[in-house]
Amino acid sequence: MKDLLQIDGARLWQSLMDMAKIGATQKGGVRRLALTDEDARGRDLFAQWCRDAGMTVSVDEIGNLFARREGMRRDAAPVLIGSHLDTQPEGGRFDGVYGVLAALELVHALNDADIATEKPIEIVSWTNEEGARFTPAMLGSAVFTGVTSMHEALAKKDADGVTLADALAQSGYRGSRAVTGQAVDAYFEAHIEQGPVLEANGTTIGVVTGGQAIRWLDVTVTGVAAHAGTTPMPYRKDAFFAAAQMAGELERIVEAYAPRGLVTIGQVGIANASRNTIAGCVTFTVDLRHHDDNEIDAMERDLREAFARVADARGVQVTIETYWRSPATPFDAGCVALVADAVDALGYSNERIVSGAGHDAIHLARYCPTAMVFIPCVDGLSHNEAEDALPEDVTRGANVLLHAVLARAGVAVTENAQ
């Protein structure tokens, strides 16, 4: 391990802390929603750092930001590495940004060691990964890989009615680089785990083998709005009590799919809500997750049958629409092996892990060979201002990324080395 090239951990940590100042919150977190002024400032800083490292910067039509370090084979497809700079409304200092700045530190390490690669290396910061401002999440990588059309993505609106197209224009990050049809040799992404498994197991590195299936459903329960003081309980068609019973059914259903089945109700709304009016219409979201596509299909079937029973018993109507689905996605065996080889060479403890969260790597895995590197996060917290990671874990993850990418990009043999 002593003879292996290593990144500068102090430099990487300082870049993370400097970036965290942009959109910093009072509780130590970050608020950099996609294509806001804060996001643009973060992008500007990152782009300048890349130029300072001798890279060329470009932006595509959906706002994905690329920084290129040329390889000896200029016509070769690049090895792509990165993540995102946007955050949740009350996000942390590491989610996404770690993958972007670990990639930049990788380039610094190659520059410091005067190492040329056969293939070009490109760092990418994807647009709107979080989905906190525009939904669904991972829009930039979805357009890049052809999962979502450019027209559909540009028409997405935030809570204030601002379209993605307008936000791109206002931020100055609607570029001219073509967004689709780009050749990519492979994609690597480093990320905090966003869960407690690695820390609980005392494991340094998660070698990610793929992403689990995710399904988002929108549920509408329609009853009858009526006066809270004049309608006896037996005569009510209360949409909220029906929705509450459905939520209880979800907890019962997911027990049959333990430990890999997960269900979350993240948003709930009562139409025309009033303190003394029986809820006539309730909407809520359901997030289903499982490692296996057949199992998540079965979870959804159980959900639909249970909700129908509740609605029938209570005399209300229920409609369920699929908002978004992402199938279980295995990563490329060859790229996963490169990550595993790097971990072994560096002597870090590791375990195979399936990503519970959605990442841009999920879209890229259907487009080109892909792998991810996970590091622990303190107490498993993410999407939280208290999100944290240890400097030594940040360094080790970047070292793994460095050697996995270098193995894929290839060390060029120059005339001076011959």
pLDDT band at 414 (very low <50, low <70, confident <90, very high): low
pLDDT of residue 413: 74
| DSSP classification of residue 225 | -
How far apart CA 70 and CA 68 sit, in angstroms, is 6
Which CATH architecture does the domain made up of 9-212+328-417 adopt? 3-Layer(aba) Sandwich (3.40)
| Sign of the four-CA dihedral 348, 349, 352, 356 | negative
Mean pLDDT of 12-40: 98
Q: Which two tokens stand for residue 291?
A: 């490692």
Closest CA to 118 of 188, 58, 59, 185: 185
Q: Kindly tell me if the per-residue pLDDT of 417 is higher than 60.
A: no
Residue owning tokens 């289903």: 288
Q: Kindly tell me if the per-residue pLDDT of 273 is higher than 90.
A: yes
Mean pLDDT of 358-374: 96
Sequence ranges of the chain with CATH classification 3.40.630.10: 9-212+328-417
pLDDT of residue 324: 87
Q: Kindly tell me if the per-residue pLDDT of 1 is higher than 70.
A: no
Q: Do β-strands 56-59 and 65-69 pair in parallel, antiparallel, or remain unpaired? A: antiparallel
How far apart CA 308 and CA 372 sit, in angstroms, is 40
Given this structure, which CATH class describes domain 213-326? Answer: alpha beta
Share of the chain above pLDDT 70, in %: 98
How does pLDDT run across 321-331, given as a tens digit for each residue? Answer: 999 898 999 99
Q: Which two tokens stand for residue 383?
A: 């999407």
pLDDT of residue 356: 87
Closest CA to 170 of 281, 298, 39: 39
Q: Full-prediction pTM beyond 0.85? A: yes
Alpha-carbon distances of 170 from 150, 163, 166, 395, rounded to whole Å: 18, 11, 6, 36
Closest CA to 194 of 270, 114, 295, 83: 83
Mean pLDDT of 11-19: 98
Sequence ranges of the chain with CATH classification 3.30.70.360: 213-326
Query: Residues forming the annotated binding site for Zn(2+)?
Result: 84, 95, 130, 191, 383
How does pLDDT run across 392-413, given as a tens digit for each residue? Answer: 999 999 999 999 999 999 999 7
pLDDT of residue 416: 47
Share of the chain above pLDDT 90, in %: 95
Mean pLDDT of 363-379: 97
pLDDT of residue 17: 98
How does pLDDT run across 214-263, given as a tens digit for each residue? Answer: 999 999 999 999 999 999 999 999 999 999 999 999 999 999 999 999 99
Q: Kindly tell me if the per-residue pLDDT of 154 is higher than 90.
A: yes
How does pLDDT run across 76-131, given as a tens digit for each residue? Answer: 999 999 999 999 999 999 999 999 999 999 999 999 999 999 999 999 999 999 99
Mean pLDDT of 124-153: 96
How does pLDDT run across 377-395, given as a tens digit for each residue? Answer: 999 999 999 999 999 999 9
Query: Residues forming the annotated binding site?
Result: 84, 95, 130, 191, 383
